[in-house]
Amino acid sequence: MPPVRPAPRLQDIARATGLAVSTVSYALRGSPKVPAATASRVRAAAETLGYRPNARVAELMAQVRRGGGPRTRDRLALVAVEPGALRGPGLDAAEGARARAAERGYELERFTLAEAGGHPGRLADILRARNIPGVVFAPVFNRARVDFHWPWERFAMAVIGAADWGVPLSRAAHHHYEAMRLTLDSLAATGSKRPAAWLNALTNERAHRGWQAAWLAYGPAAAARRLWLRADAPSDPEIAAWLKRLQPDALVVDETTSATRLKTAGWRGPVANLDLRPRSASMGVDQGYDVIAAHAVDLVVAQLQRNERGPPAPPRAVLFPGRWVPPAPADGRA
């Protein structure tokens, strides 16, 4: 057998480029301290030599840096392009991103498009001036597609959520299809045989119709007839007529306000919420915005460690189905 060649090391890349090992290490981690031309030369040498970073070593070094006393940590940006995106579920996402960034040795700064006068290019310039190479885009809640003019090639990036950004970015998102399947299975376990679903059409579209697809695949008999994808706000008599026609034994909704409207229209049966807020007394799916955002930070950090910028080829997707929250004991169920 031919002798096994040892894997190339940072020292080999440093020798090939004439640079210090520390400079090579910074370049491969995507540090803004290294000029772009130098980083490009290091990447080319690493590719030629067949160098592959050891993810475990990188993580251990991050722990060493975090425990090495006061220092100015590298920073990531959490960018919200939609007003109010960092409230409610967005706030959970922001906290999850902040906590994971700290675990990985980064500080996370929040930015909104409004702070830059609504100009993406100006916001990008602010991030570059602050030496922030990695961006996590906060979730959007009011549209299915984001038309956003951004210098994609300058940053390592990932998106929180399922919305289409028009470029092939890596993303961490809720797995709407699996969440609906989990909900249907959980309702069946409680004895439900005739559920009906009352969902927001825009949210379903933003989720690439994942809720709708799982409902049609795993839902009750005549599932299509028992699904109302609403695009407007129906009146209470319209809702009451729908309930009378279908005679459901449980309802599936996607927001708390929907559950309130159904009760106002006369519904008194069980409701499963596909977007349950944490610590709610109701049953349904806690989408886990904090977990999703943490995954998005991991995607950005991985790109930085590979010294990648711009939309990755291929983009990566990490999907989280959420956590099922059973009915509270006060509801008369286990």
CA separation for the pair 76, 32 (Å, rounded)? 11
Q: Specify the pLDDT at position 7.
A: 67
Q: Which amino acid is at 62?
A: A
pLDDT of the residue at 331: 45
Q: What is the CATH number of domain 176-287+325-331?
A: 3.40.50.2300
Residue 333: per-residue pLDDT: 44
How large is the average pLDDT for residues 278-290?
85
Domains 74-174+290-322 and 176-287+325-331 share a fold: yes
- Per residue in 240-278, pLDDT tens? 999 999 999 999 999 888 989 999 999 999 999 999 877
Q: Please state the domain extents for the chain.
A: 10-52, 74-174+290-322, 176-287+325-331
Q: What is the mean pLDDT of residues 32-60?
A: 76
State yes or no: pLDDT of 54 exceeds 60. no
Query: pLDDT per residue over 172-209, tens digit each?
Result: 999 999 999 999 999 999 999 999 999 999 999 999 99
C-alpha to C-alpha distance for 251 and 204, rounded to whole angstroms: 16
pLDDT band at 53; cut points 50, 70, 90: low
Residue 193: the pLDDT is: 95
Rounded to two decimals, what is the model's pTM? 0.76
Whole-number Å distance between alpha carbons of 102 and 171:
20
pLDDT tens for each residue of 132-174:
999 999 999 988 899 889 999 999 999 999 999 989 999 999 9
Task: Using the predicted structure, report yes or no on whether residue 324 has a pLDDT greater than 90.
Answer: yes
The pLDDT, as a whole number, for residue 51 is: 81
| Per-residue confidence band for 330, with pLDDT thresholds at 50, 70 and 90 | low
* CATH fold label, 74-174+290-322: Rossmann fold (3.40.50)
DSSP letter for each residue of 237-300: HHHHHHHHHH--SEEEESSHHHHHHHHHTT--S-EEETTPPTT-SSEEEE--HHHHHHHHHHHH
Q: What is the pLDDT of residue 279?
A: 67
Prior bond of 314 cis (ω within 30°): yes
Taking the alpha carbons of 233, 238, 241, 246 in that order, is the dihedral positive or negative? negative
